Structure 1
Amino acid sequence: MGNTHILMMGDAPNQAAPKPLPKLARATQPSVADQVFDLLQHRILTLDLPPGTKLSEGEVAGQMGVSRQPVREAFKRLAAQGFLLIRPQRSTTVSLISEAAVLRARFIRTALETHTFRLACTTLTSADIAALRALIDAQKTAITAQDRALFHALDDQFHREVCIRSGVGYAWDLIHDSKAHMDRIRMLSLNSQSQQHALREHIAILDAIEQGNPDAAARAMDSHLSRITTLIAEVKAVNHGWFTDAADLG
């Protein structure tokens, strides 16, 4: 390198300091594409848009009062998740339910949540347990009110709260992304009997956590998530045309 000199801080004390970078304006609301995506995904997962429903970029844009571009972006994201089937120049339809995708989601949830619920046995406080008991009480109220949507939301909140209160909230982020394929099955099977069954399982899980028994908590959690295989068979028997195993996601 010979006489090459690398200028270090301090070599030129009179040199002006670099101009500070401007602060970025923080977005206070989701982008239009995010809002379109969230709404369409919610409609698909709650079966307001059942499997096989045809969607049009133009019609969706018109109904929502937005341009086609954010709708196109939302369609691409939903297709990447396996919830839309886009045939260029032909049609876009809500994807049929893939049993394989549901079982993969179950596998991911089981791996993450059995470990998380073991951890909960040594990390949750009495106040945490009380808060989770309150969620279970709210689920009982939702069953009495025959409010399936509320029960479903409280079910998710129970699992999310255990993750957060165990100090691994990021685990729920991963679970949330993968569980969507299970949600359509859950919505199709949420009758009173199924809700009562899920409620009993939540009580058993929380009892094991309160007793500080990680093996029992993990077993109860595994049993809770494994029930999806029974639900698939029950739902498929009634709604066979909504299922496919052809589109293996991976």
Structure 2
Amino acid sequence: MSTSPDTTTAATTTVGSPYDALHKIRSGERGSLTDAVEAALREAIVTLALEPGMMIDKLAVCERMGVSRFPVSAALARLAHAGLVEVLPQRGTRVKPIALEDIHQHLFIRSALEVETVRGVARLRDPATLEALALNLDQQRMTLKTGQRLAFHGLDLAFHEILLDAINLPRVKEIVAVSRSALDRARQLLASPERLVHTLDEHERIFDAIRSGNADLAAKTMHDHLDQVVAELRRSAHERPDLFAP
């Protein structure tokens, strides 16, 4: 008789298990257990340690993190609300496959807001913003040379935040942050060395257009930059259809 994902034994926690990405909660950690479990599971899902479509073994999570079933179930309920996991009747909980339709909508939101953002930044040509962008690009080049993928990802986010901060519209920044968060898993699929090189090149083109004060060119380069994400994701979906929703 088959065993449901909720009751599978701890064999899944051996070396090489995807649950190795989770850490045991130390006594005295701040915040609730549910918060800690949710943060750890979210990180594992976003970084693809727990791949789209994978059934989640609650017992394995409990044993790996040293917690009871309640905070695990509560954390999974939150992640289901966030669209990262889904409950399958009579089967258990699985990591939700990436839906290209959702990605398309979030990129539409980002494009609509960030294209206009760089248009405004180019018109302002604020010296402090230009200096911050130039420094960020120098750091991007350095991390690319040394192969620091996670550091590059952080600098990529910071590049876009500098632009959003420059126009001083907090509500716009908040909306973009929500859509960017929804794209985090997809971004991990695009983190090949080749894609990072293209990302840096696209960022440099955006910067050059802003520095020259060419608002229309800045808007076009940002639009092209975000369009490339859609194109890359379609290629990823063709190569790894198991990670994407049909």
Deviation at 1:192, TM superposition (A): 1.9
User: Contact between 1:85 and 1:95, CA under 8 Å: does it hold in 2?
Assistant: yes
Write the distance in 1 (CA, Å) between the matches of 2:66 and 2:124. 48
Q: Which residue of structure 2 lines up, in the alignment, with residue 115 of structure 1?
A: 116
Alignment root-mean-square deviation, CA: 2.2
Q: Which residue of structure 2 lines up, in the alignment, with residue 79 of structure 1?
A: 80
Extract unaligned runs of 5+ from structure 2: 1-29
Residue 54 of structure 1 aligns with an amino acid whose one-letter code is M
- Structure 1 segment 29-178 matched on structure 2, within 5 A: 30-87=31-88, 90-123=91-124, 125-178=126-179
Q: Which residue of structure 2 lines up, in the alignment, with residue 196 of structure 1?
A: 197
State the secondary structure of the residue aligned to 2:133.
Answer: helix
User: Contact between 2:125 and 2:213, CA under 8 Å: does it hold in 1?
Assistant: no
- Structure 1 segment 176-187 matched on structure 2, within 5 A: 176-187=177-188
Extract unaligned runs of 5+ from structure 1: 1-28, 246-250
Deviation at 1:110, TM superposition (A): 0.6
Write the distance in 2 (CA, Å) between the matches of 1:152 and 1:89. 38
CA shift in 2, pair 1:187/1:76, >3 Å: same
Farther-moved stretch of structure 1 (55-64 vs 233-242): 55-64
Q: TM-score of the superposition, structure 2-length normalised?
A: 0.80
Deviation at 1:200, TM superposition (A): 1.0
CA offsets 1:175-225 (integer angstroms, 9 cap, x no match):
222223433232122222211111111111112222222211111111110
State the secondary structure of the residue aligned to 1:51.
Answer: coil
CA offsets 1:88-129 (integer angstroms, 9 cap, x no match):
553111111111111111101111111222222244521221
Write the distance in 2 (CA, Å) between the matches of 1:167 and 1:69. 42
Write the distance in 1 (CA, Å) between the matches of 2:192 and 2:46. 16
CA shift in 2, pair 1:186/1:222, >3 Å: same
CA shift in 2, pair 1:204/1:63, >3 Å: same
Aligned length: 218
Deviation at 1:158, TM superposition (A): 0.8
State the secondary structure of the residue aligned to 1:244.
Answer: coil
Write the distance in 2 (CA, Å) between the matches of 1:167 and 1:243. 36
Write the distance in 2 (CA, Å) between the matches of 1:52 and 1:33. 23
Residue 221 of structure 2 aligns with an amino acid whose one-letter code is A
Write the distance in 2 (CA, Å) between the matches of 1:217 and 1:231. 22
User: Contact between 2:186 and 2:233, CA under 8 Å: does it hold in 1?
Assistant: yes
| Aligned-pair identity (%) | 33
Q: TM-score of the superposition, structure 1-length normalised?
A: 0.79
Runs of 4+ with >6 A deviation: none
Write the distance in 2 (CA, Å) between the matches of 1:237 and 1:139. 29
- Structure 1 segment 206-225 matched on structure 2, within 5 A: 206-225=207-226
Instruction: Please say which structure displays the higher CA radius of gyration.
Output: 1
Residue 75 of structure 1 aligns with an amino acid whose one-letter code is L
Write the distance in 2 (CA, Å) between the matches of 1:116 and 1:30. 36
Deviation at 1:59, TM superposition (A): 3.0
CA shift in 2, pair 1:90/1:63, >3 Å: same
Residue 77 of structure 1 aligns with an amino acid whose one-letter code is R
